[in-house]
Structure 1
Amino acid sequence: PARATPRHERQGEGRGVMEEEIPQPATANRGLRAAVAAVASIAVFALVAVAVIALQRGDGGKADQGSPADTGRVSLTKADLARLVADHASALRAKDESAFLAPFSGTAKDGQRRTYANLQKVPFKETGFEIRRTNGRLENSFGGGVKVELDVAFVHQLEGVDATPVQEGYRWTVEQKSAKDRPVVTAVAGMPYTKLRPDDADQFVAYPAPWDLYPDLRVTRTAHIVLMNSAEQDSAARAAAPRLEQAAQNLLSTWRSKGPQGQPVAPGFALTLEPDATKFATLYGQGGRAGGEAGIAVEMQRPHALDRPFGGSRLLVKDPAVRVGTHEMTHAMLMPLTGKIQVTGLGGTQNWVIEGIAEYLAGGGLDDRGGLSALRRTGFTGRLPEQLMFYGGNATRQAANYELGRLALKFMADKYGEDKMFAFVAAQYAEPDSLDRQIKDATGLDTAAFTSAWADYVRSTLK
């Protein structure tokens, strides 16, 4: 089975000259556990924040007057930080390695040298870097240096994969030892999410990506898939590419021919084959929590977006089986339809819809993974799975919930037509609070009547 991003609801924190609250994904799963998104608010992204600088400095905003060398004061200005990030972005676009590495020192420079080499292999449509926030004081008036944490978003769009630009979050440690020295980035890590509980795992905004983790990234491109893997998995990824590409074509063709038109579904898929459980659980900021999943779909946030918060997904699989890949590609294809950031376990797209459509499209509408057997073992209550408890319980209970979702959508497709069913799925992704109306639009029945008819269908199937 497969799941998607395990993440707690997290709110961005920080104070500094340039701040933006980033929409934070929430704990849930889209695979064996579906990805949902967490409540967050986006403040206006601002490169100018003179009032904030003034408050930090406590000098009425006049700290830029005079010479730091005259007073022994060391400060980083908004212009210093903006220039640092802008030059970094320009260097990547110009393919200028020396300029790209210029701000970094020590082990940070070594890591960025590897990242730069890997980024040259990836088919980007566009790239850029944007400041999100600073953490720490920008000034030292007592003759010492300054050190701040600068959260920087790598905004990028994979060609033929992402519906819109998405972001990965870095945290740079920027130091300036004296007024005469230039600012230097001495450490690079992931931009962290704020924890709900102190013992929660450290999780990051889509960091590390494969280009950050692997010493020698290998990239295989087909018409609808970008495979990004370690050198050790290159042969297996290349061998699997034709099968995965055919599955991608079949999936996209089915949705385009029978699904609602004009929807912003993903045009392709980015996939990494990683059988090592530790690396698998580390990629894209998951916090290193190894599990038994065969695959996951990690949502990728759009910058500055409240509506339609996800521009794409990144898929991780432990083996290149087409069944697992298709399940996860279904999640990725539909992720850009998501219309609402949601609280952990509450609201949001119904999990039985998320997993039901992935099972339906991956299995051709058939029970090809023993879901009916799991349902017989757990017992059928006649109710659709509860949103909050969908991923709770043991593996058998979860498998039964997946099967209930598949059967709900199969019943809808068989009785009312696949076009009605696909339109229902798209509408539920976009407006998760309108389930009753969406069921009525698809079937002509209210929710209670639909559930009763579906329950009869399930009981006849279980006989």
Structure 2
Amino acid sequence: MDGPAGGRWRGVPRRRTLAVLAAGAALCALAGAGVTAARTGPGGPAPGPAATAAADVGPPDRRAVEAVLANRERAVRDRDRTAFLATVAAAPAGYRRAQAVMFDNLLKLPLEGWRERFAAVASTAGGAATVQVELRYRLRGHDAAPLVRTRHLAFAPRGGRWVITGDGAGRGLADDAEIWDGGPITVVRGRSVLAAGDGPGLAEIARRLDAAVPAVDAVAGPLAEKGWERRAVALVPADPARAGALAGGGGEPAGIAALATVMPAVRGGGADRIVIAPDSFGRLNALGRDVVLTHELTHVATGGARDGRTPLWLIEGFADYTGYKGRRVGVRSAARELRAEVAAGRLPAALPGRAAFEDGADRLAQSYQEAWLACRMIAERYGEATLVRLYRAAGRSSEDAALRSVLGLGTAAFTAAWRDYLREELR
């Protein structure tokens, strides 16, 4: 929704869990008589005299791939940069440099349990192979269980052994995005928050999120999942397109300052991350930044990014209610798009549905404003504790049943009262 700074922010319009490909059947051996290097590009260098004949090494079986991955795992654990880069071919030099930056980035994170496991052969070419790898890791103090990510590594023979020559990008195989994949990152650790990335303002973001933790806990604490523990991780990329990738999208998140997303974990649920879109976030003023970060932190506390049952107007409206609570911002200013419609005699006929919060929705800002004011009305007339009770009830039953059991109103009666409230507040 549009905030005090005039920039738009959104919470979790897409309940997206980042996809992880299932592990495939075991690799026995790669077919092919001659062994040459992979093609030029991200997947590997061009064939040349450096390529080793099949008689020297043969096609890599699963054990050969896993041996390389085990060396990488050990190097990360031992913080041994030389050993890590020994698993990577000298050419192409650009890929090797990128791997060096990645390793340096990993050392800056509170990383535990890094493990790359063979999953399947994604493609083969001339005796070389691109392998789908299942990566598992956790951030110490933040992730209850290891996260599970899909990556791709191209293997080719060099000097009598198999080494990594690239990723799968040259063959159209996309990795699950990670904050360490770009340029050198900075990591800022607050009291409760870890902010990591190559984008601007990490210390400020960590400070504002730290300040938001008690405010969110005061409102959303009764709804908090077991994994909340009043902590959060913020990913702050410099590139807006990378922000979209980190959030599970295919490109730059247009007009979004921040959003909460979920990365899948080994044992259910997954790990929440707050992704900052640098351009849009940078246009917010101080009040706007506080509101949007509190909004997203509310989603982390309540598990909103993985909630497919609670009505979306309640999820988003509750997050905005928490974000705005105690701040000096007028209703007419914060809901100016909706106010213009109400002033023109166009009251919404119904509470916003799930489609109203999707990318490209015609009335996206108004939908957030409608949801916020619905929750604000409940808190004003029935009390904040009742709003929390409604949120909990709506996640366990239908919207109408939850409204009746908590407020004593069905959906139709509640909608009529809400429409009257909009008219009163926005006239």
Match of 1:249 in 2: 214
| Aligned mates of 2:151, 2:236 — CA distance in 1 | 23
Q: What amino acid is aligned across from residue 188 of structure 1 in structure 2?
A: D
Superposed CA offset, 1:333-372 (max 9, x none): 33377255xxxxxxx5533223212211111177558343
Change (3 A) 1:39 1:33: closer
Match of 1:155 in 2: 136
- Equivalent residue for 2:181, pick from 197, 212, 225: 212
- Equivalent residue for 1:224, pick from 192, 196, 221: 192
Matched, 1:270 2:270: no
Where 1:136 maps in the other structure, the secondary structure is: strand
Where does the alignment leave 5 or more consecutive residues of structure 1 unmatched? 4-28, 59-68, 195-202, 341-347
Q: CA deviation at 1:422?
A: 2.4
Q: Contact 1:33/1:391 (CA < 8 Å) preserved in 2?
A: no
Q: Contact 2:57/2:161 (CA < 8 Å) preserved in 1?
A: no
Q: Contact 1:35/1:297 (CA < 8 Å) preserved in 2?
A: no
Q: CA deviation at 1:391?
A: 3.4
Q: Contact 2:240/2:253 (CA < 8 Å) preserved in 1?
A: yes
Match of 2:45 in 1: none
| Aligned mates of 1:350, 1:358 — CA distance in 2 | 13
Q: Contact 1:163/1:265 (CA < 8 Å) preserved in 2?
A: no
| Aligned mates of 2:336, 2:197 — CA distance in 1 | 36
Match of 2:415 in 1: 451
Aligned residues: 386
Superposed CA offset, 1:165-216 (max 9, x none): 3244322112237xx832211113679999xxxxxxxx752x141x22123x
Superposed CA offset, 1:60-96 (max 9, x none): xxxxxxxxx9989932222222333233223212222
Match of 2:352 in 1: 385
Where does the alignment leave 5 or more consecutive residues of structure 2 unmatched? 33-52
Where 1:223 maps in the other structure, the secondary structure is: coil
Change (3 A) 1:443 1:148: farther
| Aligned mates of 2:313, 2:299 — CA distance in 1 | 13
Question: 5 Å matches for 1:186-201?
Answer: 186-188=165-167
- Equivalent residue for 1:360, pick from 321, 337, 353: 321
Identity of aligned residues (%): 24
Q: Contact 2:95/2:165 (CA < 8 Å) preserved in 1?
A: yes
Question: 5 Å matches for 1:117-132?
Answer: 117-132=104-119
Where 1:115 maps in the other structure, the secondary structure is: helix
Change (3 A) 1:422 1:89: farther
Matched, 1:335 2:335: no
Q: CA deviation at 1:383?
A: 0.6
Question: 5 Å matches for 1:296-311?
Answer: 296-303=259-266, 305=268, 308=269, 310-311=270-271
Q: CA deviation at 1:226?
A: 1.1
Match of 1:134 in 2: 121
Moved over 6 A (4+): 38-42, 69-73, 190-194
Where 2:155 maps in the other structure, the secondary structure is: strand
RMSD: 3.9
